[in-house]
Amino acid sequence: MAHQVSIWRAAQLVGVARGVLQQQVRTGALLLNDGMVSTEALLRLYPSASFEESGLLERVAQIRDEAFGKRLRERLLPSQEVLAQRLFAQSQELGDVRLHLQRYHELVVAVQKTIREQYALHPQDAAWQALEWQVTRGLSSVLATDAVDLLEVMDDMLKIMTAQVTVQPSGHQFAVEGHANLLQSGLHSGLRLNYGCGNGSCGMCKVRVISGDVVQTQHFDYCLSENEKSQGYTLMCCHTAGSSELTLELLEAGGPKDIPEQEIVTKVRALTTVAPNTRLLQLQTPRTHRLRFLAGQSVALGWSNLAQGDVQSIQAIASCPCDDRNLLFFVARDEGSSLANAVFSDQLGLGDAVTVRGPMGEFVLIEGHRPLVFAACDLGYSPIKSLIEHALALDAVPSLSLFWLALRDDGHFHSNQCRAWSEALDNFEYELFSNTDIVAGAKEIALAMHANLFDIECDFYLCGPPLFVDTLFDDLRRAGVPAAQIFKQEM
């Protein structure tokens, strides 16, 4: 009998992105039954899928290797308490199945006995003998050893190592791995969760547990009322999934308007030269006051300068919202930029205070199932990088393509990261363009898009100088792309 699993779990089992399976469902190649997929249908679609290829055995073997130590175990496996709770739940399920089998077996044996008694009383009635033979043959068939469903075995293992959380009313799902709490896991999966301090003091990440169990991971000071406790409310930042499946009720941010403006004093954590004329500025927030933002948004950075006094600069965040403590900004050498002057003249140094105010901007990822195409020019790559990382975290996009134009010599300052994405991900591709003429460069990208992508419907995200964005936007519109599928940000 085929085993039924969710789309989220099915993607884990065969080692593909969830968006790829969802695309198979939309095309009819994979059928759903009450939102679930049968392992039989999954193996027909991916016949080469195997336990070894999934990487699960390798991960378990790595855990046993002492060289990987405590950090690897914490990343891959839950705590002993959580493991024990999930194993206990599976043992209960196995016990229930055995009890039912035992009762059915006793019932069949009793029926066989009754049939034999009736046949002894009526030996001339061949129907009783035929009925006994049919029951005996059926019982033998049921008790016969069938081939093991490999995906079902893998699913049972994943239920212990990785919990599946379903969010209501949105229906979003995310995984909880290792020692991560619910809030960390949700953010790393790209969900737009409501939260504040992240350490159990403010109560902003309060959610209601609809089904499943949670386990407390750290002490919290926020006091839940008795009424909230009775209704199943808990804090995501201080709990993890105790059961292999968990359903939570919570509200997610629908867009930029749902994210409040914040003001946080951060510290310069690092200043790294990524190219001769480009540096990466890393700011770190306090543990108790993290920046909540959406991928693609910007913030105002403020700091004190001995020569100029208080200085402010608007900058696009180049990091994923899942890492809300470490904020990344690419800064290019530019005499007209106060931030660039501070960074390249070492006016800003390690440990210096920088005030972050925001977030701001509407250039964010729109939820959908179409392939995504990104086009950036020079530092327009910053918000594009954030959007790409957010899309990868969501794991729901069939494919991602990046076209990056450089107007200056070191304009492709992060090409190594693009190469790493391309090598690691089957659904990511990129092309680099160089041209000192911004319009000519934009037209080169337009031609590449026509050659590679116009046989499918996509969402387009454009970011860079106004002339670059306008040139590409006009070309896409002439090609028939609806304006609702083109999102742009001028820098």
Residue 382 has pLDDT above 90, yes or no: yes
On whether the CB atoms of residues 52 and 15 are closer than 8 A, the answer is no
- Give helix 150-161 / helix 80-121 axis angle, nearest 10°: 140
Residue 123's pLDDT is 80
Residue 169 belongs to a domain: yes
DSSP state of 28: T
Is the predicted pLDDT of residue 65 greater than 50, yes or no? no
- The answer to whether residue 159 is domain-embedded is no
Stronger pLDDT, 71 or 112, i.e. the higher one: 112
pLDDT attached to residue 55:
46
Q: Which of 94, 122, 154 is the last residue of a domain?
A: 154
- Is the same domain home to 462 and 444? yes
One domain, residues 272 and 287: yes
**Average per-residue pLDDT for the chain:** 84
Q: What mean pLDDT is predicted for residues 251-267?
A: 93
Helix (H, G, I), strand (E, B) or coil at 66: helix
What is the model's pLDDT at position 56?
45
Range of the domain at 118: 81-154
DSSP-assigned beta bridge partners for residue 164: 175, 245
Provide the CATH number for the domain around residue 347.
2.40.30.10
Residue with tokens 């899928």: 49
> Both 333 and 440 in a single domain?
no
Higher pLDDT, 9 or 438: 438
Domain end (from 135, 154, 173): 154
Are the CB atoms for 372 and 461 separated by under 8 Å? Answer: yes
Across the range 338-347, mean pLDDT stands at 91
The pLDDT of 467-476, averaged and rounded, is 96
State how many domains the chain has.
Answer: 5
Mean pLDDT of 22-51: 73
Which pLDDT score is estimated for 115?
A: 83
Q: Please tell me the distance from the alpha carbon of residue 181 to that of residue 174, in angstroms, as a whole number.
A: 12
Q: Which of these, 403, 460, 463, 445, lies nearest to 428 by C-alpha position?
A: 403
Are 122 and 102 spatial neighbours (Cβ–Cβ below 8 Å)?
A: no
Provide the pLDDT for residue 448.
92
CA distances, 464 to each of 11, 467, 473 (Å): 35, 8, 12
- pLDDT, tens digit, 9 for 90 and up, residues 284-307: 999 888 999 999 999 999 998 755
More confident residue, 487 or 370: 487
Final residue in a domain of this structure, among 360, 380, 400: 360
pLDDT in tens, 3-27: 777 776 777 777 777 767 777 776 7
State yes or no: pLDDT of 381 exceeds 80: yes
Reply yes or no on whether the pLDDT at 64 is more than 50: no
CB 215 within 8 A of CB 240: yes
Q: What is the pLDDT of residue 148?
A: 54
330 located within any domain: yes
The domain spanning residue 451 has which CATH number?
3.40.50.80
- Specify whether the CB–CB gap between 407 and 441 falls below 8 A: yes
Average pLDDT over residues 66-91: 62
Q: What is the pLDDT of residue 272?
A: 95
Check whether 346 has a pLDDT greater than 90.
no
Statement to judge: residues 338 and 261 lie in one domain: yes
What residue spans of 52-188 are helical by DSSP H? 56-64, 69-76, 80-121, 126-143, 150-161, 182-188
Task: Name the phi and psi angles at 52, rounded to 5.
Answer: -70, -40
- Beta strands 486-490 and 459-464 are parallel
Alpha helices (runs of H) in 46-79, residue ranges in sequence order: 56-64, 69-76
CB 159 within 8 A of CB 86: yes
